Copies of this chain bind each other. A is one copy, B any other.
């Protein structure tokens, strides 16, 4: 498969979330116009995005929602189970460990790590918090697919080094810092500061 831009993958996720909403409302077909409207893009863009993965929809009839949503779940890798370890047992880590959307999407929290002796061994949902010193060893036997970095920014680089050495190829970063990883490791960041600054920029420019 050729390289797909991150912005395209983001739109596929959005399309899928709309399709799933329509599935819950028991609607069976959707037009590219409607998908475009919901996703804040054009119907030409929708058709282009979907054509990367095959031929969908019938002219004048729109897309079959069950068919398209199934295909998108397959493309996005959501029909597998992914083993996730969370590094950093603070507030963000706690919110993640309880986040319903994780399990629904096949992301299984397999372990939670911290370095604070006061936290080690405490139970979080079904997980006892483990010592981050054991992460590399555990990753070998438990084959984590994804690591979530939920540490303070000053610890993130060190933790990422361990994650990469453990052979984990996907990282979700919540630490407000830029991570450096080899090219075969994919990082996605959830950076609240950037979103907040976007809002303050918008408010500032309104006021002028």
Contact = CB atoms under 8 A, between A and B. Distances in A.
Q: How large is the interface on A (under 10, 10 to 19, 20 to 34, 35 or more residues)?
A: 35 or more
Contact of A6 (B82, B177, B198): B198
B9 A178 contact: no
A186 interface: yes
11 contacts: A1-B205, A10-B198, A17-B178, A18-B178, A75-B201, A76-B204, A77-B204, A80-B204, A91-B95, A96-B192, A101-B193
Summarize A's interface: helix, strand, loop or mixed. helix
- Specify how many copies of this chain sit in the oligomer: 2
A107 interface: yes
Interface of A: 1, 4, 6, 9-10, 12-14, 16-18, 38, 75-78, 80, 82, 91-92, 94-96, 98-99, 101-102, 105-107, 145-146, 169-172, 176-178, 184, 186, 188-190, 192-206, 208
